[in-house]
Amino acid sequence: MRWIDNNTESKLSIDIITEKSGYSKWHLQRIFKQHVGVTLGEYIRISRIYCVAEKLRLSQESIMAIAIRYHYDSQQTLTRIFKYYFKTTPSAYRKSNNIAPNYKN
């Protein structure tokens, strides 16, 4: 988990993480879900979107640049995923005074 959190700006995939871990793809996904409570893919998405939220708060970097930095296909894709987790757009989040996300799984 720490390695994922430290590499959110890298192109992450289950295959890359499996290779780093030394476990088989299926075994790693099974034990990850068992111990963390979410799938490996979901954890990657959550970790990445929380980093996006932090960038929105701490920088004036454009939303498009942030989308590219975190490997989203487009600003629209980032906005759709951001809205799913935070219940607001990246632009509105940046302008608001809320520090904590509205994420509810």
pLDDT tens, 20-63?
A: 889 999 999 999 999 999 999 999 999 999 999 999 999 999 99
2-95 has which CATH code?
1.10.10.60
Q: At what angle do helices 40-58 and 25-36 cross, to 10 degrees?
A: 60
Rounded Cα distance, 51 and 34, in Å: 24
Mapping DSSP to helix (H, G, I), strand (E, B) and coil, where does residue 28 land?
A: helix
State the Cα–Cα distance between residues 93 and 25, nearest whole angstrom.
Answer: 36
pTM of this structure: 0.82
Q: State how far the Cα of 21 lies from the Cα of 102, in Å rounded to an integer.
A: 32
How many Cα atoms occupy the beta-carbon half-sphere of 67 within 13 Å?
17
Question: What are 4-21's pLDDT values in tens digits?
Answer: 999 999 988 889 999 988
**Straight-line distance from the first to the last Cα atom of the chain, in angstroms, rounded to the nearest whole number:** 18
Query: Which sequence spans correspond to the domains of the chain?
Result: 2-95
Which residue, chain included where needed, has tokens 């629209």?
A: 76
